[in-house]
Structure 1
Amino acid sequence: MELKEPVRKVLNKIYEPDSMIEKPFKKYHMAFKTDELGRPILLFLGKKELDGRIKGERFSRRFKTDNAGVIIKDHWEHKGKAT
C-alpha cells in the first residue's frame, strides 16, 4: 500500500516538534508523530475508535541523509494494520 498525493501534501509540512497531531482527512482520521524538527515520522490512518485509537493502517517514514545532513531520500514504509 502506498500513500497518495493528498496525504503526502499534509505530511510534507512542518508541525510542532516532538508531538502527536490528529487531523481529520476526508472520511478518515489521521494521527502522526513528529520528530525533533517537526517532520511527521509515524502515521496512523483509518477510523477513530471510541477510546481514541485509530484502527486502520500504520506507516513509518525513513530519511536517508548524506554526511552533511542533507536529505537524499524521503520514504514512507507501510508497516501493516494499526489496532
Structure 2
Amino acid sequence: MIRIILCCPRLYDEQAGSGNAAALLGVLNIPVQGANVPIGLDCTPLSVLAVAGNSCNTQTVCCENNNFKGVVAIGCTPINVNL
C-alpha cells in the first residue's frame, strides 16, 4: 500500500456512516471500510506546496488512499514533518 503525505485543511475522525465527511462520501459514491476512518478533505500533496514555495499551515497527514484528487483522502494519520 502506498501512503502519501498531504496537507488537509479539514480532517475528520468520525464514523464512516455519519457526519459531514460521511455525507460527502455518500454523494461522491466513495465506499469506506471500517467504523472509524480518519478522512481528510480538500487536501494538497506536500510536494506540490514545496515546489510552489509554500508550507502546510493546517494539518499534515499521511493517508492510505488519495485516489480522489485531494477532494477526499481516506485513512489519514496526523504527522509532524518538523521532526
**Which one has more relative contact order, counting CA pairs under 8 Å at least 6 apart?**
2
Larger Rg: 1
Structure in which a larger fraction of residues adopt strand = 1
Does the TM-score normalized on the shorter chain lie above 0.5? Answer: no
TM-score with structure 2 setting the length: 0.25
